[in-house]
Chains A and B, each alone.
Chain A
Amino acid sequence: MSSLRREFVKTLFQKRTYIGWGGLFIIPFLIMLAFRFSSGGPHGQGGGAPDVGEQIFSQIRANGLYLMVAALLAMATFFLPLLASMSGSYTIAGEAESGTLRTMLMQPVRRGAFLMSKWFVANLYVAIGLLILGVASLIAGGAVFGLSPVRLFSGQEIGVWHALGLTAASYAFVFVGMMCVVSLATLFSTLTNSSLTAVAGALVLVIIMEALQAFSVFDFLQPYLFTSKFSEWTNFLSSPVQWTPIIKALINFAVWIVGTTALGYWRFRRKDILS
């Protein structure tokens, strides 16, 4: 059994896996029901760009495709980082907590490869979660509000397939952003034997970064905080696509992913397993 397959099978045997995925499946239907049976919009948009949120949420009743984007907007600030944080935190700390880390490492397995396969599967878990969110949104939105051509923020109208392509790109972008959270949580996971501590550590750092965005005095930090780039996916919904902020955000994500993962890798290879 390859290490990736083994880690994925272990993930499939955990109940929390299905709780997370189940939540991502249900949320689009809840949004659909809310818009189907009420005339108003949500109390708040929950995203980093309220004007964009208003535009998106106001279109849901007219076009089910907007539900895909609305769900992403609603999930990207807290639920997805929470899920990514939990997924990354379990990699080492969760196994240490349950005592299975020593059972695994008493087998002939390289620590570095072990960590990387866990990191990969933690990211795969988030990717599948995003896929579930997208598919559930498409089903819920399409079934109730129908699918029709989409008007972009820049005013142009595009066909359903083109809109689906841009939405998929937006989901992929958010996934890369969530990889930052997974990597950060994985790093925390190598520093503690408690998955809750690792989740809290990663999540608190994400929340602190998001809080820093709210104060202009910390504006100089914006280019370096990965959370400040989470909403850049909306640049896919313009014509032409605004590539410069997207690429800058991806570079920022890449630095965080590589940096935190490398630190976690370095730490874990030297860690005394006392759990």
Chain B
Amino acid sequence: MSAEKFDPAQDGHLEVCEGRPVVLSTHGLTKDFKKLRAVDNLDISVCRGDVFGFLGPNGSGKTTTIRLIFGLIYPTSGYAQVLDHKVPDDRLSALRHLGGFVDDPMFYGNMTARRNLRMLAEMNGEVSEERISEVLDMVGLSDRATSKVGGYSHGMRQRLGIALALIHKPDVIVLDEPTSGLDPQGMKDVRELIRQLGAEGVTVFLSSHLLHEIELVCNRAVILSKGRVIVQGPVSELHPANHAVKVLTADQGRALEIIRRMAPPGGVREDEGYIVVDSGDSFVPEMVRRLVAGDVDVLAVVPALEQGLEDMFLELTSGEMSAAQGGTR
């Protein structure tokens, strides 16, 4: 599999992010379908070894972007880049470094999984029967390798799609909602496989609208809305700074009165029996002193749970989702 570390000999000519070469990027990528702008001036960078989350609600332009990356559709302006190969200009060379699928992976139903893999993989160079067996084993399809794909379930086709993506050990694997339609065990298996690939240094570009999936398996992510990047960076840094504390006292009514008098407007709310105060770390000692001075026994002051990626996602894309809901009424 691909090396995780920056190799100057191999990657010296590539752009670098976080000390690693950028292996997949888009530059001002834009796609219009008549009057609809599906992808709008998209700039993203995926570093070698990233498990990169591509997150957005349905219709935000994720699949269109992946089609642009694979050269299935032509951009209105801008381009995608795989290593130093631009798409669409140098599509053929770029595709030699890419594996993956877009939408539901589809195969020839009258052929077996093994024959499908052999036929499709040979379009990108020689492939051994051992390698075919290896990838079928990785995705748990060894025992159905000689079954016709026409009889496969959606989940099995997803797995076969991943097997095809892996077969040539590409530099970047692009997966479009690989867990969609899978049962819980299937989802767990696929996520585990992606995590494993990431641990081996394989760069994975994972499109998903499942927020917890991105949190579970990705180290970096971009949130997309209406074809535009809203935020991009390490998943751990996508959470906004949070200094809120939960306060529990013997007299919550009196405590709320005291805290409201000293806290800035909007900095205090009640949540499931607690008073939640969001006014910065320096506020807490003074708050406790005033509560005690006001004869209120302080039982507990604990950090409020961090705002999750989900909250942030909903906040960032709320306009789009409201519009979508309004449109369906």
Chain A residues within 8 Å of B, Cβ to Cβ: 1, 6, 9-10, 13-15, 98-100, 102-110, 270, 272-274
* Residues of chain B in range 77-109 having any CB-CB distance to chain A below 8 Å: 92-93, 95-96, 98, 100-109
CB-defined A-B contacts under 8 Å, sample of 21: A6-B122, A9-B119, A10-B108, A14-B110, A102-B67, A102-B102, A103-B106, A104-B120, A106-B72, A106-B98, A106-B101, A106-B102, A107-B95, A107-B120, A107-B124, A108-B92, A272-B72, A272-B74, A273-B67, A273-B72, A274-B67
Q: Do A99 and B101 touch (CB < 8 A)? A: no
Shortest CB-to-CB span from A118 to chain B, Å, is 14
Shortest CB-to-CB span from B119 to chain A, Å, is 6
Q: Do A15 and B110 touch (CB < 8 A)? A: yes
Residue in A14, A103, A270 whose CB lies within 8 Å of B107:
A103
Report if B123 contacts A (CB, 8 A). Answer: yes
With contacts A99-B106, A102-B103 taken as known, whether A273 is within 8 angstroms of B73 at the C-beta atoms is: yes
A104, A108, A270, most chain B CB atoms within 10 A? A108
When C-beta atoms are compared, the residue in chain B nearest to A270 turns out to be B74
Report if B70 contacts A (CB, 8 A). Answer: yes
B103, B107, B123, B164, most chain A CB atoms within 10 A? B123
Q: Do B106 and A108 touch (CB < 8 A)? A: no
Q: Do A106 and B106 touch (CB < 8 A)? A: no
Shortest CB-to-CB span from B51 to chain A, Å, is 21
**In the complex the two chains form, what is the Cα distance from A98 to B110 in whole Å?**
12
Q: Do A109 and B106 touch (CB < 8 A)? A: no
Report if B182 contacts A (CB, 8 A). Answer: no
Q: Do A100 and B108 touch (CB < 8 A)? A: yes
Residue in A1, A15, A98, A106 whose CB lies within 8 Å of B119:
A1
Chain B residues within 8 Å of A, Cβ to Cβ: 67, 70-74, 92-93, 95-96, 98, 100-111, 118-120, 122-124, 164
**Chain B residues whose CB sits within 8 angstroms of the CB of A9 once the complex forms:** 119
**In the complex the two chains form, what is the Cα distance from A251 to B108 in whole Å?**
38
With contacts A99-B104, A100-B107, A273-B73 taken as known, whether A110 is within 8 angstroms of B92 at the C-beta atoms is: yes
Shortest CB-to-CB span from B217 to chain A, Å, is 22
**In the complex the two chains form, what is the Cα distance from A274 to B100 in whole Å?**
16
Q: Do A106 and B95 touch (CB < 8 A)? A: yes
**Chain B residues whose CB sits within 8 angstroms of the CB of A6 once the complex forms:** 119, 122-123
When C-beta atoms are compared, the residue in chain A nearest to B116 turns out to be A103
**Chain B residues whose CB sits within 8 angstroms of the CB of A272 once the complex forms:** 67, 72-74
**Chain A residues whose CB sits within 8 angstroms of the CB of B73 once the complex forms:** 272-274
When C-beta atoms are compared, the residue in chain A nearest to B72 turns out to be A273
With contacts A1-B119, A102-B102, A274-B67 taken as known, whether A108 is within 8 angstroms of B108 at the C-beta atoms is: no
Shortest CB-to-CB span from B170 to chain A, Å, is 11
Q: Do B96 and A103 touch (CB < 8 A)? A: no
**Chain A residues whose CB sits within 8 angstroms of the CB of B124 once the complex forms:** 107-108
Additional A-B contacts beyond A105-B70, A274-B73 (4; CB < 8 A): A1-B119, A103-B105, A106-B98, A108-B93
Q: Do B106 and A100 touch (CB < 8 A)? A: yes
**In the complex the two chains form, what is the Cα distance from A9 to B109 in whole Å?**
13
**Chain A residues whose CB sits within 8 angstroms of the CB of B102 once the complex forms:** 102, 106
The 5 closest A-B pairs by CB, nearest first: A99-B106, A107-B123, A272-B73, A108-B95, A273-B72
With contacts A108-B92, A270-B74 taken as known, whether A103 is within 8 angstroms of B120 at the C-beta atoms is: yes
**In the complex the two chains form, what is the Cα distance from A190 to B73 in whole Å?**
14
**Chain B residues whose CB sits within 8 angstroms of the CB of A10 once the complex forms:** 108, 119
**Chain B residues whose CB sits within 8 angstroms of the CB of A14 once the complex forms:** 110
**Chain B residues whose CB sits within 8 angstroms of the CB of A107 once the complex forms:** 95, 120, 123-124
When C-beta atoms are compared, the residue in chain A nearest to B102 turns out to be A102
